[in-house]
Chains A and B, each alone.
Chain A
Amino acid sequence: MGTGRLYTAVAVGGFRRYATYRTATAAGVFTNTVFGLILAYVFMALWDEKPHLGGYDQAQALTYVWLSQALLMAMATMGGGFEDELIERIRTGDIAIDLYRPADLQLWWLSQDAGRAMFHLLGRGAVPLAFGALFFELALPADPLTWIAFLIAVALGTVVSFSLRYLVALSAFWLLDGAGVAQMSMIAGVFCSGMLLPLNVFPGALGEVVRALPWSSLVQGPVDVLLGTADPLGTYAFQASWALGLLTLGRLIQSVATRRVVVQGG
């Protein structure tokens, strides 16, 4: 099997695996819609009070709400993808078997996570967004090119999300119990990605800091590309440099960590 085909197969497996849980997906769609509804009204009250807050008009702010709900699971903003499983494998020592396999550990999990993200984008993203578009006045673009540009930003965002969670999982080599780190990462993910509130509504220096952090690639970046409030190429460059940097860091830590496994006798 060629390497390209191997990782495609892994990605398809990741997609299928999540597609199995149909009731859970339907339940999740319901939850995203309920939260979207609550947030939509809060944002309307907020933008009523201060129109053009953060440079958005009300329709754009509402689009932001529904898009962020649609992206929540695909971007694994609150965690809950492959990392729990990887942490468990590191804790139990099963990771030693994975390291013998003729496949690259990081690429393997990246492909699996890509399949998961793809499923969640379709399974948990499309319906809440459609619901939002049906009942609220959204500022969705008509130009298909903008949608394609958005999807590229989403794809790059999922890689950044993966590389962050890969680092979280690797921390288990030293800490064994990854729960604390995973929780901190979830807090950072929710706060800094723009899930809580658009990052350009954050006041002053705090806003500048959160916009420069990798998490802004997950929600704020793709949404701004769709709304046309950010230059797509600039967004891609930002996302790609974070992805590259974090993936390289993950690779370095992985090689240090695997040497540790060998020292411990496997």
Chain B
Amino acid sequence: MIAGMWIRSTMAYRASFVMTTFGNFAATALDFVAVLLMFSRVDRLGGYSLPEVAFLYGVSATSFGITDLVVGSMDRLGRRVRDGTLDTLLVRPAPVLAQVAADRFALRRLGRVTQGLLVLAYAIAVLDIDWTPLRVLMVPLMLLCGAAIFGAVFVAGGAFQFIAQDASEVQNSFTYGGTTLLQYPPTVFAKDLVRGATYVLPLAFVNWLPGLYVLGRPYPLDLPTWIAFTPPLIAAGCCALAGVAWRAGLRSYRSTGS
């Protein structure tokens, strides 16, 4: 309902909506333009070809785009905690998390999802994949679980902002930084960074582990094959943890007193 309200308010300025959606599309497409520019000079990056990188990029960008569409306003929470306007949300008869998520719900963020899907479609069209039913199923599963994992990171980041009010940028480095990391093959990065993205902040489950199964590539860190099928479990675990963190954060909230 709150999301609907924000949609109606942006639709009041249709030209502006079209412009900002396109702008959003173009701004996020720049990442992929960088990849294209790199491949204009080299044939492989970390041993991966352009369509393979595009596949990883497409999955990461689309699932991140879905998350951004749903809970992308989470980084505004710090400001709300600081200036005390979070109080308005607390007295309304709706879950605070849902309200924060829908805060300034911006349909223009569809630009990001569209861009990710286009790159993914290109990759799937060009790649020569031996499609088994499992591999076909894996693609939508990756997008959903990936969005859930990113969502958990967003919510946990929001919970963190209850404590550190001005630090929304720290959250950005895990969300935006995370999606940038996943846009490149794991072979590019140092082992410790890949380990961190697997065991500490399980971003590798968004696209690296299930994606490499689809591409038929060896896994990083000598992980077993069945690990490709664990993203739903990991996603559920992350969401549960983020929920606990969110409750703790919300309980620690003291208003500004002004």
Contacts and interface: CB of A to CB of B under 8 A. Distances in A.
Interface of A: 21-24, 26-28, 30-31, 34-35, 37-38, 41-42, 44-46, 49-50, 53, 177, 179-180, 183-184, 186-187, 190-191, 196-197, 201-203
Given A24-B166, A46-B42, A179-B16, A31 B173 contact: yes
B33 interface: yes
A197 B170 CA distance: 24
Given A49-B42, A177-B16, A24 B169 contact: yes
B44 interface: yes
B193 interface: yes
Given A37-B193, A187-B30, A196-B30, A42 B170 contact: no
Contact of B189 (A41, A180, A197): A41
B248 interface: no
A190 B31 CA distance: 10
B40 A203 contact: yes
Contacts of B37: 196-197, 201-203
Given A27-B167, A31-B169, A197 B34 contact: yes
B189 A179 contact: no
Nearest to A29: B169
Nearest to B190: A41
A187 B23 contact: yes
Interface stretch (B66-74, B84-92, B176-184): B176-184
B167 A23 contact: yes
A50 B42 contact: yes
Interface residues of B, number: 37
Interface string B2-13: 000000000000
Question: Chain A binding site: helix, strand, loop or mixed by DSSP?
Answer: helix
B200 to A, nearest CB: 13
B46 interface: yes
Contact of A30 (B44, B45, B169): B169
B34 A23 contact: no
Given A30-B169, A45-B45, A191 B30 contact: yes
Given A24-B167, A46-B38, A180 B45 contact: no
B41 interface: yes
A21 B166 contact: yes
Contacts of B190: 41
Given A35-B177, A197-B37, A26 B23 contact: no
B144 to A, nearest CB: 25
Contacts of A37: 193
| 8 nearest A-B residue pairs (beta carbon) | A27-B169, A23-B166, A34-B173, A27-B167, A183-B23, A31-B173, A24-B166, A45-B188
